[in-house]
Amino acid sequence: MSRELTYSNIENANLALLKSYLTSIWRRERFSDGYMASMFEKGLVVDILWRLKALRDNAVTDGKKKAAKWINQFIRITRFNDTVEIQVCMIKWPHPHTPKSTWHTIHKLDGFTSQEVIDELVEKIFLDKRYFKICNECDQRNPIGHMHSNNVCQGCAEQNHGIVH
Ligand SMILES: [Zn+2]
């Protein structure tokens, strides 16, 4: 058999490297029976799988952070002395090219309302078609003020249909 392959730095490997490690283990198994088993015994395969899991978990967290950031642009929670208000940003176009955004209170709650209840209400607003709609063409959720029509966003209307706003 040719030179020994080294599988180093697995704890920091990226997806491409892990993929090449797995491919090489698989290939070598085809040339020498038991190679994969020996790599299992060394703990190498499990190390690779753990690293893959860590990468996947990070990707999920990043996705959640991105979603939260997006929501924070358009839905906010404002605390007053005895109340908590959930507000949504509505975008209007009083003049073409000059959007005007204003915050509207959707829920006025007792100051002691739990975060869990608040989160649930925020999610409901996020899914409420009176405030946000999903564009059929780019699949993105938009505040209604950024929708060209019921199911096409302004960006897609411009890009795909040549409509000038
Ligand atoms: Zn779109």
What pTM was estimated for this model as a whole? Answer: 0.66
Confidence of residue 116 (pLDDT cuts 50, 70, 90): very high
Find the 133 Cα to ligand 1 centroid distance in Å: 10
Reported as a single tens digit per residue, the pLDDT across 2-15 is 445 678 889 999 99
Asked if the structure places residue 3 within a domain, the reply is: no
Find the 29 Cα to ligand 1 centroid distance in Å: 48
Asked if the structure places residue 5 within a domain, the reply is: no
Which protein residues have a CB closer than 5 Å to ligand 1 (ion)? 135, 137-138, 153, 156
Reported as a single tens digit per residue, the pLDDT across 58-102 is 999 998 898 889 889 999 999 998 999 999 999 998 888 889 999
Q: How many domains does the chain have?
A: 2
In this prediction, residue 1 carries a pLDDT of 43
Which residue range is the domain that position 14 belongs to?
Answer: 10-70
Find the 152 Cα to ligand 1 centroid distance in Å: 5
Asked if the structure places residue 60 within a domain, the reply is: yes
Judgement on whether residues 107 and 152 belong to the same structural domain of the protein: yes
**Could you please report the per-residue DSSP string of 3-57?**
SPP----GGG--HHHHHHHHHHHHHHHHHSTTHHHHHHHTTHHHHHHHHHHHHHH
Asked if the structure places residue 152 within a domain, the reply is: yes
